[in-house]
Amino acid sequence: MALDELLWLLALLANQSILIHNLKNKDAPKELLTEDELELLTSPLELATYKGAITEAMFKGTARNIQSEAEGGTKNEKAG
């Protein structure tokens, strides 16, 4: 994951609560964070930590645990 992709994802996640606030409070919207602002507010060490955590979460979220049934199982048997 490149730095610009990481900053885009962090901005998207950080702005979710602001977007919800703006949706509920159309008369008093808050300003969204930009990728440039997030880059200034975080250190390279923090970005590396976030990258690792995000990558791990993505792998856990897309993991597939497929279990095969034993031969002679009851799946697809005719009823009655």
Chain centre distance of CA 78: 43
pLDDT attached to residue 16 = 93
Q: Residue 6, exposed/middle/buried by CB under 10 A (0-12, 13-18, 19+)?
A: buried
Please say whether the dihedral angle defined by the alpha carbons of residues 35, 50, 60 and 17, taken in this order, is positive or negative. Answer: negative
CB 7 within 8 A of CB 38: yes
pTM above 0.75, yes or no: no
Task: Show me where the domains of the chain are located.
Answer: 3-61
- pLDDT tens digits along 19-44: 999 999 999 999 999 999 988 998 88
d(CA 51, CA 70) in angstroms, rounded, equals: 40
